[in-house]
Amino acid sequence: MKKLIKNIRHLFGGLASKKKKTDPRAELEKAIARLPGLAQSLKLHNLDLSKEDAVHVFGYGSLPGKPHYPPTEMNTAYLPGYRRDFCCRSIRSGTNEFSGLTLGLVKDKEAAVKGKIMSYRGLKTSELIDMLNEFASREVPSTAIYVFQIKKTVDENGQKALAITCVADTKAPGFVGDALGKEVREVLNEEERKEASLWRKASIISQAAGYLTQGKRHTTNKSYMDRFVRYNLDNHPTEIDENADPVQKELQKKVIHGEKQMRELIDAVDKMRGMLKPATRKWLEKIEAKQWDHFLKDQKILDEKAAKQAAAKQAAAAKAAAEKIKNDPDAPENNVPPPLIPDDKKLNLSTRTKDSFFPSL
């Protein structure tokens, strides 16, 4: 019996010793593979995330408000050459039969997107893997609509960074573009297509509603638009900074142009909502009121946190500047002129005698 037990222990001990250890590199590749297109983009830019001092993620909409993983720091930044658009199908804010629309980034040389750079510095490989997996769980929906690529971004101080960016996959089945059918698109000129697309999207957003199984609550497409587009346009609109350099000013102008287009869509959605039957409108607005109240409470906390971080950052910058001046002997502030001599102490050459200058020894 003892021999049997010994053999069983030996067998299981051997199996345990043969169990493969987790390979961090393999786990990192799996995490990257969960973000469609990222592996190819990293290869194109010759980047190895595990060897980078900092990994940056560009976000807009809901992502900066509630990051998928706590960033080391977060700063306002611009993504040139892209614009925001409600161009992707969304089951979250709709149903399979009547899907809503969600935001995506589409190429536009004349545009720029204002968002946030979330920086992750000094991550261990295990932490990097966790960050990427959380990002995939948050931003990769069941219906393919996005591709993840490395894009060049620039912050408000002109600092450039390569960041993982979620853009619309124009080849994905969930990409709807202008939301017009091929037959409609073929018979309209460019201006007519823009107008038709505006009202088609407004019609969808004003009506679409869904149910979130994870949160066990109803939601509407308009609620998504109100929280992550309308709120920022009403409370944090982009303005031209007259002290900025020409490049920054040009980016700000492009962002303002995009915000104007979004405002036009919001106005169209409001008009389409007003055309719905009173009972339908009342039901949708009841859902939206609950979500809006929760959003405002969360937003107040986020705004207060952002204000404290901005104040701390400004204080740190002022302290660093003062320290730099203190340690610089050539700084104008340190070139103090000699003290003035009072009149009664000044040397009066006219009253001094020869002996007073050359006293006898």
- For 223-258, what is each residue's pLDDT tens digit? 999 999 999 999 999 999 999 999 999 999 999 999
| Arithmetic mean of pLDDT over the chain | 88
* pLDDT the model gives residue 5: 56
84-93, 101-110, 207-216: least confidently modelled range: 207-216
> 331: helix, coil or strand?
coil
* pLDDT the model gives residue 361: 45
**Does the pLDDT value for residue 18 go beyond 70?**
no
C-alpha torsion sign, points 190, 191, 192, 195: positive
C-alpha torsion sign, points 179, 184, 185, 188: negative
Domains of the chain: 22-312 (3.10.490.10)
DSSP letter string, 245-276: -HHHHHHHHHHHHHHHHHHHHHHHHHHHHHTS
Residues 6 or more apart whose CB falls under 8 angstroms from that of 239 comprise 252, 256
Q: What average pLDDT does this structure show over 164-180?
A: 96
**Does the pLDDT value for residue 181 go beyond 70?**
yes
* pLDDT the model gives residue 327: 82
Residue-wise pLDDT for 300-335, tens only, equals 887 888 788 778 878 888 888 888 888 888 777 777
**Does the pLDDT value for residue 295 go beyond 50?**
yes
Helices 190-207 and 246-274 cross at an angle (nearest 10°) of 60
**Does the pLDDT value for residue 278 go beyond 90?**
yes
Q: What average pLDDT does this structure show over 354-359?
A: 50
**Does the pLDDT value for residue 26 go beyond 50?**
yes
In SS3 terms, 121-145 reads as: ECCCHHHHHHHHHHHHHHHCCCCCC
> Exposed e or buried b for every residue in 237-253, given b needs 16+ CB within 10 A?
ebeeeeeeeeebeebbe
CA distance 213 to 142: 14
Q: For residue 231, how many other CB atoms are within 10 A of its CB?
A: 16
* pLDDT the model gives residue 357: 45
> 152: helix, coil or strand?
strand
**Does the pLDDT value for residue 9 go beyond 70?**
no
- Band the pLDDT of 66: cuts 50, 70, 90: confident
CA distance 361 to 358: 9
Residue-wise pLDDT for 148-169, tens only, equals 999 999 999 899 999 999 999 9
17-21, 178-182, 224-228, 293-297: least confidently modelled range: 17-21
